[in-house]
Amino acid sequence: MIDPAAVEEIKQILGRSKRVLVTTHIAPDGDALGSLTAMGLALEQLGKKPTLVCDDGLGEPFTFLPFADKVVKRVRGSTHFDAVFAVDCGDIERTGRALKPLQKKMPPIVNIDHHVSNTHFGTVNIVISEAPATAEILTNLFLQIGVELDVSLATCLLTGLVTDTQAFRIPSVTAETLRVASLLTDAGANLAEITMRTLVIKDLSTVQLWRIGLNNMHLEDGLAWTTISQADLQLVRDPGAPHDGLNNILADIEEAKAGIVFTEREDGRVKVGFRSRPPVDVAQFATKLGGGGHRQAAGALINGPFNDAVKQVVELVKQGLKEA
Ligand SMILES: [Mn+2]
C-alpha cells in the first residue's frame, strides 16, 4: 500500500498532464528498463502521451520488453512536457542527460524508487527502501490508481522484479513481493521465460571471460581473486562483454569470504570489483581505494601498473578479513 496522500498528488498531476516524460538511471538494469517501459504503458492506458528516455538507451537482453522500441536516448522535437516520472533513479544526476532539454521549464517530477540513498529530488516522492525493486512499488501504485495489469504491463514489471531480486533470492524479498509476482503471473507474464532471458542466457564472450577468470583464480586466507589483463581480453570475441557473474562465482566459493575481479583497462588503470556474502562488508575496502558501493557488492578504479595494484589490494583485503 502506497501512501494515499502521495497517490492523490500523482492523480492530480496526471489530471493536468498530456505529454509526460519518463526516465530512469544511466547504465540501466532490468528494474530500470522494466519500470521505464511499464510506466510508459500505464500512461498510454490512461490516455497520456508518454516519451520514454534513457540516456544509455535500451540494449540486450531487454529488447524483448513490450514498448522497448519506444525507448529513446534523447528527446526529439518539442521539449514541452507536463510532468516527468523518474523511476528506479536514486539521484537526479543519475538520469544523465535525459532531462537536460527541459531545464529551462522543468515540470513537476514524480520520483518513484527504492534506493536507500534516494535524494527525494521530486515534487512527489514515493521512495520505499524496503522494496526489493521499483517494479514492486509500481505494481502497487498501478493497482491504486486503477491501471489494469495486462500481459504487456505485467511482463515489464515482472522483469524488474526478477532481475533486481536475482529471481527472488535476496533478503529483501517478502511475502508481499511474492504476492505481487503472483498477480503479475496471473496477468499473463511468463516467469520462466523472463528468468531465462535476463538471468540465465549469456553471450559467448561473457563465458569466455569467465574461462579466463577461472583459469587465473587464486584462493588464499579466505580471499578468492582473479585477474583479467589487456592481453587476456584480446582472446575474447567482445572484450567489452560484462563479467559480473564471475565475481559472484568467486564469492560463492564455500572457502571464500570475499571475491575480487581485477580488470586491466586500456588506459592502464585497474578496475577492482568486490563481492561477498553477508556479513562480510567489502564496501569498506572499496571506499579505502576511493570507490564505493554496497556491503556485498562494491568497486573501485585505481592506478596501475596492473601486477603491483593487484598485489597491494590483495594484501589489504587479506589483512582486513583477518582482523574482522
Ligand atoms: Mn532497482
12-31 burial: b if 16+ Cβ within 10 Å, else e: ebbeebebbbbbbbbebbbb
Compute, in angstroms, the gap from residue 320 CA to the centroid of ligand 1: 30
Which among 48, 117, 49, 110 is positioned nearest to 84, based on CA atoms? 110
Claim to verify: residue 162 and residue 21 sit in the same structural domain: yes
Claim to verify: residue 22 and residue 145 sit in the same structural domain: yes
CATH of the domain at 82: 3.90.1640.10
pLDDT for the residue numbered 298 = 87
Q: Which three cell numbers stand for residue 165?
A: 531480486
Claim to verify: residue 25 and residue 117 sit in the same structural domain: yes
pLDDT for the residue numbered 291 = 87
Say which residues have a Cβ less than 8 Å from residue 28's Cβ, sequence separation at least 6: 36, 54, 56, 58, 62
Residue 293: give the domain boundaries: 204-323
Claim to verify: residue 273 and residue 318 sit in the same structural domain: yes
Claim to verify: residue 8 and residue 85 sit in the same structural domain: yes
pLDDT for the residue numbered 296 = 86
Distances in Å between the Cα of 221 and the Cα atoms of 224, 318, 320 are 8, 7, 11
Compute, in angstroms, the gap from residue 31 CA to the centroid of ligand 1: 5
Compute, in angstroms, the gap from residue 319 CA to the centroid of ligand 1: 33
Compute, in angstroms, the gap from residue 88 CA to the centroid of ligand 1: 5
Claim to verify: residue 168 and residue 209 sit in the same structural domain: no
Q: Which three cell numbers stand for residue 149?
A: 495489469
Task: Read off φ and ψ for residue 157, nearest 5 degrees.
Answer: -70, -40
Q: Sort 322 into a burial class: Cβ within 10 Å, 0-12 / 13-18 / 19+.
A: exposed
Q: What 3 state SS string does the chain have?
A: CCCHHHHHHHHHHHHCCCEEEEECCCCCCHHHHHHHHHHHHHHHHCCCEEEEECCCCCCCCHHHCCCHHHEECCCCCCCCCCEEEEECCCCHHHHCCCCHHHHHHCCCEEEEECCCCCCCCCCEEEECCCCCCHHHHHHHHHHHHCCCCCHHHHHHHHHHHHHHCCCCCCCCCCHHHHHHHHHHHHCCCCHHHHHHHHHHCCCHHHHHHHHHHHHCCEEECCEEEEEECHHHHCCCCCCCCCCHHHHHHHHCCCCCCEEEEEEECCCCCEEEEEEECCCCCCHHHHHHCCCEECCCEEEEEECCCHHHHHHHHHHHHHHHHHHC
Compute, in angstroms, the gap from residue 198 CA to the centroid of ligand 1: 14
Compute, in angstroms, the gap from residue 165 CA to the centroid of ligand 1: 9
Compute, in angstroms, the gap from residue 136 CA to the centroid of ligand 1: 10
- What is the full per-residue pLDDT of the chain (324 aa) written as tens digits? 899 999 999 999 999 999 999 999 998 999 999 999 999 999 999 999 999 999 999 999 999 999 999 999 999 999 999 999 999 999 999 999 999 999 999 999 999 999 888 999 999 999 999 999 999 999 999 999 999 999 999 999 999 999 999 999 988 899 999 999 999 999 999 999 999 999 999 989 999 999 999 999 999 999 999 999 999 999 998 888 877 789 999 999 999 999 999 999 999 999 999 999 989 999 899 999 998 877 888 889 999 999 999 999 999 999 999 998
Claim to verify: residue 155 and residue 224 sit in the same structural domain: no
Compute, in angstroms, the gap from residue 210 CA to the centroid of ligand 1: 26
pLDDT for the residue numbered 110 = 98
Compute, in angstroms, the gap from residue 303 CA to the centroid of ligand 1: 30
Contact present, 283 and 250 (Cβ < 8 Å): no
Compute, in angstroms, the gap from residue 106 CA to the centroid of ligand 1: 25
Q: Which three cell numbers stand for residue 212?
A: 579466463
Compute, in angstroms, the gap from residue 78 CA to the centroid of ligand 1: 30
Compute, in angstroms, the gap from residue 235 CA to the centroid of ligand 1: 33
Which of 184, 200, 216 is the C-terminal boundary of a domain? 200
Claim to verify: residue 120 and residue 25 sit in the same structural domain: yes
Structurally, the chain folds into a number of domains equal to 2
Claim to verify: residue 40 and residue 162 sit in the same structural domain: yes
Claim to verify: residue 196 and residue 237 sit in the same structural domain: no
pLDDT for the residue numbered 241 = 80
Compute, in angstroms, the gap from residue 171 CA to the centroid of ligand 1: 14
Claim to verify: residue 177 and residue 210 sit in the same structural domain: no
pLDDT for the residue numbered 303 = 97
Compute, in angstroms, the gap from residue 246 CA to the centroid of ligand 1: 21
Which of 200, 218, 243 is the C-terminal boundary of a domain? 200
Alpha carbon 268 to chain centroid, angstroms: 27
CATH of the domain at 249: 3.10.310.30
Which of 164, 180, 200 is the C-terminal boundary of a domain? 200
Claim to verify: residue 239 and residue 268 sit in the same structural domain: yes
